[in-house]
Amino acid sequence: MTEKPRDADRRKAGSTPGGSAPAEPATGDAPRVVIRNNRKITEPPAEPEGTAADAGSDVPAEGLVEDAEVVVDEIEVETGTVEGSTAAGPPVVDAPAEPVDAATSSTLGAELEALRADLDERTRDLQRVTAEYANYRKRVDRDRGVVAEQATGAVLAALLPILDDLDRAREHGDLVGPFGTVAEQLVTALGKFGLTPFGEQGDPFDPTLHEAVAHQTSADVTEPTCVQIMRRGYQLGERLLRPALVGVADPE
């Protein structure tokens, strides 16, 4: 008897008896769906020997029809966790807040007041330190300026006798030519450091700026007036380096 096409197809497909398809091995944790089917075969009654079907023909004789029916009777779904995927869990429900009793509320209020008091104290400390630092910077800047002015004044005070000699040479008419030009450049350079001369004939007498070495009376003045300049005075900014030596005339 020839092999039926159903058996040949079964061997080629590598199926197992019973019509169940071999389940493929699961890869990783991916979901796997397995479908099992039952096949019902209906065969006609056997033909007598000697018919055309027994002559070695591979084609089934007329009336020998394979009636196959696939019945899906079970679906298995195997689920797993796929690597790299995030499984959605059950929704998270917030627990209801517990009621706060009076004791807890009082404790929290006391802690809050303590924190506020601590914050106020730290704020006052910060303000005090900031004010002290600002005053320190002002004092340092002022002291630095005073030191620089004192150093400059010391240098200029050492040059005042030279300026007195230049004034006497100017009065006698000796300050001319190249020597006069150098003298003027020196006076201009010292003036850039804030050196200011004062003491001119006819200025009102100021005891804070002038040192009187001679007194006389005159009907030409209405107040004490400097009528003679014996030595000029100098100031460095608002600082008095040297008073002027003057002769003073008082009104009669």
Model confidence band, residue 122 (pLDDT cutoffs 50, 70, 90): very high
Among 43, 44, 36, 46, which Cα is nearest to 68's? 43
**pLDDT above 80: residue 96:** no
Determine the pLDDT at residue 241: 92
Predicted confidence (pLDDT) per residue in 73-94, tens digit? 444 444 444 444 444 455 555 5
CA atoms within 13 A on the CB side of 85: 12
* Residue appearing with tokens 């008419």: 173
The CATH number of the domain covering residues in 194-252: 2.30.22.10
User: For a pLDDT cut of 90, what percent of the chain falls above it?
Assistant: 40
- Domain ranges, ordered by start, for the chain: 5-12+31-78, 194-252
Backbone angles phi, psi at 133, to 5 degrees: -65, -40
Model confidence band, residue 252 (pLDDT cutoffs 50, 70, 90): confident
Higher pLDDT: 64 or 157? It is 157
Q: What does the DSSP assignment read for the chain?
A: -PPPHHHHHHHHHTPPTTSPPPPPPPPTT--EEEEEEEEEEE-PPPPPTTSGGGGT-SSPPTT---EEEEEEEEEEEE--PPTT-----PPP-PPPPPPP-HHHHHHHHHHHHHHHHHHHHHHHHHHHHHHHHHHHHHHHHHHHHHHHHHHHHHHHHHHHHHHHHHHHHHHTT---HHHHHHHHHHHHHHHTTTEEEE--TTPBP-TTTEEEEEEEEETT-SS-EEEEEEE-EEEETTEEEEPEEEEEEEE-
Q: What integer is the mean pLDDT of 6-21?
A: 46
Mean pLDDT, the chain, as a whole number? 73
Model confidence band, residue 17 (pLDDT cutoffs 50, 70, 90): very low
Q: What integer is the mean pLDDT of 132-158?
A: 92
Q: What integer is the mean pLDDT of 102-126?
A: 88
Name the token pair of 207: 């005891």
**pLDDT above 60: residue 35:** no
Determine the pLDDT at residue 12: 47
